Structure 1
Amino acid sequence: MDISVLFLAMPTLTLDIDPSATQQLWILDIYGFLIACLLITMGNLGDRIGRRNILLIGASVFGLASVLAAFAPNAAVLIVARALMGVGGATLLPSSLALISSLFPNARERATAIGVWTAFFAGGSVAGPVIGGLLLHHFWWGSVFLINLPVLLILLAFAPFLLPEHRTIAMGPLDIRSVVLSIGGILTLVYAVKHSAAEGLDASAIVIGCLGLVLLTVFVRRQRRLADPLLDLSLFARPRFSVAIGSSLVGMMSLAAMSYLTSIYLQSVTGRDPLAAAMFGIPMAVAVFVFSVGGAPVARRLGVRGTFVLALLASALGNLLLLGVGVDGGTQWYLIGSTIAGIGYGLSFTLVSEVAVSSVPAERAGSAVGISETSFELGNALGLALLGSVAALVFRSGGDFAGTLGETIQHAADDDIVNAARESFVSGMHVATTVGAAILIVMAAIAGVVGRTPRNATGLATSDTEN
């Protein structure tokens, strides 16, 4: 929710604290970047010091950072607050999902529980703008960050009594060198991709990108030598696990780009206020929620491979239907396309989480979940950086506009420039969502070929030897 609600608040936020185009990208990106860098580390740390402990620590950091973000006086403070929220968020995702593996040892019950977890995880990302729209209709933009506090207060009050503690005593201490290498490698590589997509492939992007590749290469070689590695590379030898990670990565790339661009479209192109724009997200939110909960029964009927292929193709179709959206109409195509895409995202994301948890023994669940959640957050960050930058390049090629679409509308001298800017933005949105659909189709083809594994009675908990 905290990622998607910001999409809706960006136009209002831009008018208030006036961030530059670069600062806008960092406000959106820094949260996902830090989560992506820290998820594997926090998943491993939770396995060692206790998943409930790390959950409560992360919730406290997340709550304090949310308050700082809500009352940020300028863009720089907001970026810092979003970074701290990323640190806290990196503890919440793997610890909460790993606790499910302890609470539900039965495979069928666990699959259903993970479906519920995924429904609130993925559904929250779509429902966020609806709740945010209500807040923005009555309050200032900072109120969207305070929606965290009631949930976090309930968690901090009841988790110590209701959640069991779970830690793995047999595991060795956390390898600090691996932590530094993973964070440095992921952050520099993602920054290089983001920079080259926005500014072009220059010497700075090449140098930083090469540094990231070197750090990640050293990291991987180190993991092969450690008895208790930060990243269990043997998991990727299992086709089903690799397909799951790839599906979550490309799924979140396309979802992040579609959510961000359509939020701007509904407000800055069609002229709707935040609340009216948010209402258009309800069908997708319902689709994601329902099919996340229903993902396990579908997988039992179609098998893991078939469900991944179906989910990815549905997501691609939903993105392609956005080609029917225009400056002067076509919002019905958005409603149809986003709903179909929501079906695909709901099925895919719940299956990714189940595969991650069932791939390892319970004592390693936190580290395995850290890998899958890293792919989610990395996909979100890359979706905004790459597909968002593609849309921005197409937008800028349509005329001499004053920065972003919002800035152009605010400073334009006449209506002709505003209309041209809106046309150019819609063209950029079409190109970006089409590229996202193409990536989903390619991943569906890979899943169909690589993910050929026998199906057992549940369709989910096939033995590791079958992979």
Structure 2
Amino acid sequence: MNTSSPSIPVAPARRPSERPAQHLSPRADRRSWFGLLLVLGPALLISMDGSILYLVMPTLTNALAPTAGQALWILDSYGFAVGALLITFGNLGDRYGRRKLIMLGAIVFGIGSAGAAFSPTPEWLIGFRVLMGIGGATLLPSGLGVLSELFLDLRQRSTAIGIYAATFAAGFAIGPVIGGVLLSFFDWGSVFLINVPVVVLVVVFAPIVLRRGARAGSGRVDLASIALSAAGLLAVVYAVKSLATEGPTWVGGGVGIAGAAILMLFLRRQARIPLPLVDLSLFKSRLFAIAIATGLLTLFAWSASAYLGGMYLQSVLGLPVLTAALLALPGAVVLTVTCILTPRLTERIGARAALVLCHFTMAAGLALLLATITAHGIGWFVAATVVASFGFGISFALVADTAVSALSPDRAGSAGAIA
């Protein structure tokens, strides 16, 4: 998400707070809202599957007896596949039709989920987790991008994007809770099987409620850009995970440097080719650049605080895993509601003021964690997550709306991949 090609219509970036005095675009009908409901299902499942194994791993380890390295890959292979392929599939959806890609991604995700549920060995489970990640990378950007086709009215589109962002964020937060509940009644494979009914509904109803939509054109897909994007992202993510789990190593450092070099080659290529995977000209907009940087920083803060907070509650305070997960729910509720209400907030105070507010509230919330001690601190933890989640919610919704609004509807999948 190059201005070198006049054949790609690029809409000027607008502030999400800027709304026309009158709604000149047609209002969404019932079919559009059903379409939103349909794409929310995969968004929820994809984010849940990023965290649902946090509580399941002890049971899964007893069942399959993976090595330490295999256990790490069971957790991480899914995220690797999603992160490495988002940009690729976002552009393919724009090029060949997002409805078609959503249906294909749902089928792949469903096959991967069913296979993971009945995997007899760690190797099979890792392979099916990769397949699930490929399906997730197919569904996410097209699911967000299709909202620009369903909702032509700008205000309704912002609301729909806020709901989508809220659903995705909530899924990651409730994943461990859902996993803990399922393990109370069923085998570990149930955490994957719950995906299958939703996938069936998507495949059946997508042709009915989703429109074909505009396409960015039939130009040749740049395979070199796809390879550079996937390889560079995969190498960088691997290096970060290696640093987190093993500390500084020559292998991890070398892979990280190689990944950064590959991504630099990828960006240089995007500036030269007529149909880039990432439109670098978008970053000339100060609001767009700040919004994307805010989204990146928010994910760093959110992921780190969630992980370390869970470790604090379990390892320091000695709380059961499910209890620790339940204590995160108040923050998840605030985050979800804030995502939905952010479009109204930006209408009142503007996108720039909303970005400033989200940074201050995130900082204030995380600062409350300084009051926690080894003897007690549950109240401070809950207060910190509630305050910080207000900022997290503003960031997720505003970043998604800013990204999707920066490009014409036929390239919304590319924007969604960056968001």
TM-score when normalising by structure 1: 0.74
Aligned mates of 2:319, 2:123 — CA distance in 1: 28
Aligned to 1:68: 115
Aligned mates of 1:121, 1:255 — CA distance in 2: 14
Structure 2 residues without counterparts, runs of 5 or longer: 1-47
What does 1:406-421 align with in structure 2 at a 5 Å threshold?
none
What does 1:263-274 align with in structure 2 at a 5 Å threshold?
263-267=310-314, 270-274=317-321
Aligned-residue offset at 1:142: 2.7
Aligned mates of 2:223, 2:139 — CA distance in 1: 21
Aligned-residue offset at 1:71: 2.8
What does 1:95-134 align with in structure 2 at a 5 Å threshold?
95-134=142-181
Between 208-217 and 32-41, the greater mean CA deviation after superposition: 208-217
* % identical aligned pairs: 47
Between 97-106 and 164-173, the greater mean CA deviation after superposition: 164-173
Aligned counterpart in structure 2 of residue 212 of structure 1, from 247, 259, 263: 259
What does 1:16-415 align with in structure 2 at a 5 Å threshold?
16-168=63-215, 170-267=217-314, 270-372=317-419
Aligned mates of 1:147, 1:320 — CA distance in 2: 38
CA contact (8 A) 1:178 1:219 kept: yes
Aligned to 1:420: none
Between 276-285 and 333-342, the greater mean CA deviation after superposition: 276-285
CA contact (8 A) 2:88 2:277 kept: yes
Aligned-residue offset at 1:245: 1.6
Q: Deviations over 1:391-412 (max 9, x none)?
A: xxxxxxxxxxxxxxxxxxxxxx
Q: Deviations over 1:413-446 (max 9, x none)?
A: xxxxxxxxxxxxxxxxxxxxxxxxxxxxxxxxxx
- Aligned-partner residue type, residue 183 of structure 2: L
Task: Flag the 1:227–1:65 CA change in 2: closer, same or farther, 3 A.
Answer: same
Aligned mates of 2:302, 2:107 — CA distance in 1: 28
CA contact (8 A) 2:216 2:410 kept: no
Q: How many residues align?
A: 372
Task: Flag the 1:19–1:239 CA change in 2: closer, same or farther, 3 A.
Answer: farther
CA contact (8 A) 1:122 1:289 kept: yes
- Aligned-partner residue type, residue 364 of structure 2: L
Between 353-362 and 189-198, the greater mean CA deviation after superposition: 189-198
Between 222-231 and 149-158, the greater mean CA deviation after superposition: 149-158
- Aligned-partner residue type, residue 192 of structure 2: F
Between 275-284 and 56-65, the greater mean CA deviation after superposition: 275-284
Aligned mates of 1:340, 1:200 — CA distance in 2: 32
Task: Flag the 1:72–1:309 CA change in 2: closer, same or farther, 3 A.
Answer: farther
CA contact (8 A) 1:357 1:365 kept: yes
Aligned to 2:31: none
Aligned-residue offset at 1:272: 4.5
Task: Flag the 1:104–1:176 CA change in 2: closer, same or farther, 3 A.
Answer: same
Aligned-residue offset at 1:16: 4.0
Aligned to 1:412: none
Aligned mates of 2:379, 2:357 — CA distance in 1: 23
Give the secondary structure class of the aligned counterpart of 1:102.
helix
Aligned mates of 1:323, 1:137 — CA distance in 2: 35
Between 114-123 and 77-86, the greater mean CA deviation after superposition: 77-86
CA contact (8 A) 1:17 1:75 kept: yes
Structure 1 residues without counterparts, runs of 5 or longer: 373-467
Q: Deviations over 1:364-387 (max 9, x none)?
A: 111111111xxxxxxxxxxxxxxx
Aligned mates of 1:344, 1:239 — CA distance in 2: 20
